[in-house]
């Protein structure tokens, strides 16, 4: 698949996929969008002391990176599961320039070049828990999210040959506290915005769990409500979309 690197309005880069006529992030500001929707409106709104996060569409790892930084700043332990069907090459991601060569990341035990950690985020093995920093553990899972099913509270994939069946992810018992729903737009990939998938994500979330997404369309809001979520429309990122959605699995809901 052909991919083109483009600058967005806040100076950070994103990827453009000509085949889909779609970008990985908002052209109004890739980093600003990720920080606002997933960190400010999602992670910081979660009451969990040690959040378990599920990301639909790991992509460039920008959301994961901003989450790692927040984990180290806040001191909250975070477990992050990123689902991705089309993993990107490090050689492509490197060119996005998300990390400058002199940027350092300070963790509770040391200071290290941020670019090294960002590279590890991408080159670490798939299907395994990898502790990248004292407060951030990553598990990347290469799978088609449309094959996910919940059976007896456990996550399964339809296709028995899929590698995820043999990963710890398939026998996961602990629920998630937060879902970053970051699929390509419904007009470009309608199969990613299905009632079935939202029902599945609702089951995977713990009581009080939160799902955030950049898409505020009525049809998406109604699907989330049908799944059992209580949905809020919140202001979008500075200079970007007018509204975004935050859905909560509140007590006494379905
Ligand atoms: C909007 S981009 C995600 C951007 C990403 N969160 C980031 O920070 O770079 C959507 C992502 O969903 C992935 N994707 C597309 N179809 C998928 C599927 N069926 N299952 C899992 N991931 C899929 C794409 O490859 C892409 O990485």
What are the tens digits of pLDDT across the range 174-232? 689 999 999 999 999 999 999 999 998 998 899 999 999 999 999 999 999 999 999 99
pLDDT single digits (tens) 88-114:
999 999 999 999 999 999 998 899 999
Reply yes or no on whether the pLDDT at 167 is more than 70: no
105-140 confidence digits (pLDDT tens): 999 889 999 999 999 999 999 988 999 999 999 999
- Residues 154-166: what's their mean pLDDT? 54
Question: What is the full DSSP assignment across the chain?
Answer: ---EEEE-TTS-EEEEETTTTEESS-TT-HHHHHIIIIIITTGGG---SS-EEEEE--TTSHHHHHHHHHHHHH---EEEEEEESSPPPHHHHHTT--S-TT-EEE-SS-EEEHHHHHHHHHHSPTTS-EEEETTEEEEEEE--GGGEEEETTEEEES-TTSGGGGSGGGG--SPEEEEEE-PSPTTT-GGGS-HHHHHHHHHHEEEEEEEEES---HHHHHHHHHHT-EEEEEE--TTS-SEEEEEE--TT--
Query: Which of 184, 194, 215 to probe ligand 1 with, by most ligand atoms within 8 A of CB?
Result: 184
pLDDT at site 157: 61
Where in the chain are the domains?
A: 28-248
Whole-prediction pTM value?
0.94
Q: Find the 145 Cα to ligand 1 centroid distance in Å.
A: 10
In this structure, are strands 205-213 and 230-235 parallel, antiparallel, or unpaired?
A: unpaired
Q: Which atom of ligand 1 is nearest to the CA of 64?
A: 8
**Ligand 1 neighbours (beta carbon < 6 A):** 24, 34, 57, 59-60, 62-63, 83-86, 144-146, 182-184, 189, 192
Specify the pLDDT at position 1. Answer: 79
Q: Does domain 28-248 sit in CATH 3.40.50.150? A: yes
Q: What is the pLDDT of residues 27-75, one digit of tens each?
A: 999 999 999 999 999 999 999 999 999 999 999 999 999 999 999 999 9
**In angstroms, what is the span from residue 251 Cα to ligand 1's centroid?**
30
């Amino acid at each position: 698949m052909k991919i083109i690197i483009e600058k967005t309005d806040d100076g950070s880069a994103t990827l453009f996929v000509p085949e889909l006529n779609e970008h990985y992030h908002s052209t109004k500001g890739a980093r600003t969008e990720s920080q606002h929707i997933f960190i400010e409106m999602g992670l910081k709104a979660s009451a969990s002391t040690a959040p378990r996060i599920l990301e639909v569409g790991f992509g460039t790892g920008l959301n994961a990176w901003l989450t790692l930084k927040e984990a180290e700043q806040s001191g909250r332990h975070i477990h992050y599961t990123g689902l991705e069907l089309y993993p990107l090459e490090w050689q492509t991601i490197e060119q996005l320039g998300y990390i400058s060569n002199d940027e350092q990341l300070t963790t509770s035990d040391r200071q290290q070049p941020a670019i090294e950690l960002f590279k590890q985020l991408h080159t670490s093995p798939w299907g395994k828990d990898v502790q990248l920093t004292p407060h951030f553990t990553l598990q990347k899972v290469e799978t088609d999210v449309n094959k996910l099913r919940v059976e007896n509270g456990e996550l399964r994939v339809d296709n028995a040959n899929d590698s995820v069946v043999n990963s710890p992810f398939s026998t996961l018992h602990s629920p998630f506290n937060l879902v970053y729903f970051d699929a390509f737009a419904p007009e470009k990939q309608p199969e990613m915005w299905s009632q079935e998938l939202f029902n599945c994500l609702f089951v995977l979330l713990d009581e009080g769990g939160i799902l955030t997404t950049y898409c505020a369309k009525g049809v998406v809001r109604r699907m989330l409500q049908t799944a059992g979520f209580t949905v809020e429309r919140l202001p979008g990122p500075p200079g970007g979309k007018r509204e975004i959605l935050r859905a909560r699995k509140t007590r006494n809901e379905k």
